[in-house]
């Protein structure tokens, strides 16, 4: 069903060029940290294929063509799928997981997010390049109750029997309440396990990904989002906002801020 062959050295070089990574790619924690941020800051989260009715795939070779060769972005099943396959091709030991979003307390959602855990320098780390908005700019040590700071936000992982790992986030480095984002069982998924949830996000009439333009990209200390007819750039406690309600205005924003555009 899928071509799961590793990315070749030539494909890896093309991937590195796409994300602006200049290192040697050896499977170390230092390189993982740099490759992660390069991906987050060069490849936008976006749902433009879904809005255009273009069928999606989670095949790693298809994702390479879309993200690297065609220089598009994607959403979690695509972005984390390609990123995980890149890491495996570099020699990292990876596990892929299905997540349940928990941003709305009391609402039980299907497992509709994908995340990766990676072994590096003798420990396991969580990496995610597929959420809209702020995400950890550094790999998160898979260790319960340890607060980790990436220069913008603080993060924490909790572990519960029967639920697995729960990922929480709060703004800044000081005191404040953590917000639960998602949780995942510590059970590796096969590539085929992501076909159905990806299709749900793509095709189900209640899917948020069909409700309008959703695009975001991270900077070292910023997060830029296009949604709900406005472009917002968050930097610390400041927000810059540009209204862009028409398709022409949004197309200009997509080109200037995200190096992408509508598909039709």
What is the pLDDT at residue 242?
97
d(CA 204, CA 62): 22
- Which backbone phi and psi does 128 adopt, to 5 degrees? -150, 120
Question: Who's near 151: CB < 8 A, 6+ residues apart?
Answer: 137, 220, 221
Is pLDDT above 90 for 27? Answer: yes
This prediction's pTM: 0.96
Nearest to 42 by CA among 83, 1, 2: 83
Instruction: Determine the pLDDT at residue 16.
Output: 98
Q: Could you give the CA distance from residue 23 to residue 183 in angstroms, rounded to a whole number?
A: 32
Residue with tokens 């936000």: 153
Residue 122's CB is within 10 A of a number of other CB atoms, namely: 6
Q: Is residue 4 part of a domain?
A: no
**Does residue 228 lie in a domain region?**
yes
Range of the domain at 121: 9-258
pLDDT digit string (tens) for 251-264?
A: 999 999 999 999 97
How high is the pLDDT of residue 70? 97
104 pLDDT more than 90: no
pLDDT of residue 149: 97
- Residues 117/125, Cβ–Cβ less than 8 Å: yes
Judge whether residue 107 has pLDDT over 90.
Answer: no
> Can you give the pLDDT at residue 72?
98
Report the mean per-residue pLDDT for the chain.
96
Q: 3-state DSSP call for residue 232?
A: strand
Cβ atoms within 10 Å of 263's Cβ, excluding its own: 12
Sequence-separated (6 or more) residues with CB below 8 Å from residue 207: 50, 200, 201
The pairs formed by 242-250 with CB atoms below 8 angstroms and a separation of 24 or more are 250/213, 250/226
Q: What is the mean pLDDT of residues 28-53?
A: 98
Would the pLDDT of 42 be above 90?
yes
Mean of the pLDDT values across residues 131-155?
Answer: 97
Pairing assessment for the beta strands 45-46 and 164-171 based on DSSP bridges: unpaired
Q: What is the mean pLDDT of residues 100-113?
A: 89
Three-state DSSP class for residue 108: coil
So what's the pLDDT on residue 103?
87
| 229 domain-assigned | yes
Strands 111-120 and 93-101: antiparallel
DSSP 69: I
pLDDT at 105: 81
pLDDT of residue 61: 97
Q: Strand, helix or coil at 254?
A: helix
Establish if 264 belongs to a structural domain: no
Average pLDDT over residues 13-23: 98
Q: Classify residue 3: in a domain, yes or no.
A: no
Please tell me the number of Cα atoms within 13 Å of 219 on its side-chain side.
Answer: 11
Please tell me the predicted confidence (pLDDT) of residue 245. Answer: 94
Does residue 175 belong to any structural domain of this protein? yes
Q: Of how many residues is the chain composed?
A: 264
User: Of the candidates 58, 3, 45, 46, which has an alpha carbon nearest to the alpha carbon of residue 196?
Assistant: 58
Residue 32 covered by a domain: yes
Instruction: Indicate whether 25 belongs to any domain.
Output: yes
Number of domains the chain contains: 1
Q: What is the CATH number of the domain that holds 107?
A: 3.30.2140.20
Cα gap 263→47, rounded to integer Å:
10
């Amino acid at each position: 069903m899928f071509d799961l062959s590793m990315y070749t050295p030539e494909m890896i070089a093309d991937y590195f060029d796409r994300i602006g990574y200049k290192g040697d790619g050896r499977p170390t924690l230092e390189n993982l940290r740099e490759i992660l941020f390069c991906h987050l800051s060069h490849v936008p989260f976006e749902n433009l294929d879904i809005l255009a009715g273009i069928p999606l795939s989670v095949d790693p070779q298809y994702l390479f063509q879309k993200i690297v060769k065609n220089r598009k972005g994607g959403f979690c099943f695509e972005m984390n799928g390609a990123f995980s396959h890149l890491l495996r091709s570099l020699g990292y030991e990876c596990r892929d997981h299905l997540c349940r979003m928990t941003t709305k307390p009391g609402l039980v959602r299907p497992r509709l997010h994908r995340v990766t855990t990676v072994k590096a320098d003798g420990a396991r780390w969580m990496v995610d390049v597929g959420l809209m908005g702020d995400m950890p700019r550094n790999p998160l040590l898979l260790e319960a109750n340890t607060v980790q700071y990436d220069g913008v936000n603080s993060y924490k992982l909790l572990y519960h029997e029967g639920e697995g790992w729960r990922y929480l986030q709060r703004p800044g480095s000081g005191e404040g309440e953590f917000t639960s984002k998602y949780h995942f069982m510590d059970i590796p998924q096969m590539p085929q396990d992501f076909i159905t949830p990806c299709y749900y996000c793509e095709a189900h009439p209640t899917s948020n990904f069909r409700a309008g333009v959703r695009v975001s990209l991270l900077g070292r200390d910023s997060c830029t989002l296009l949604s709900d007819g406005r472009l917002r750039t968050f930097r610390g406690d400041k927000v810059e906002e540009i209204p862009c309600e028409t398709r022409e205005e949004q197309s200009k924003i997509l080109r200037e801020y995200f190096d992408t555009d509508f598909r039709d």
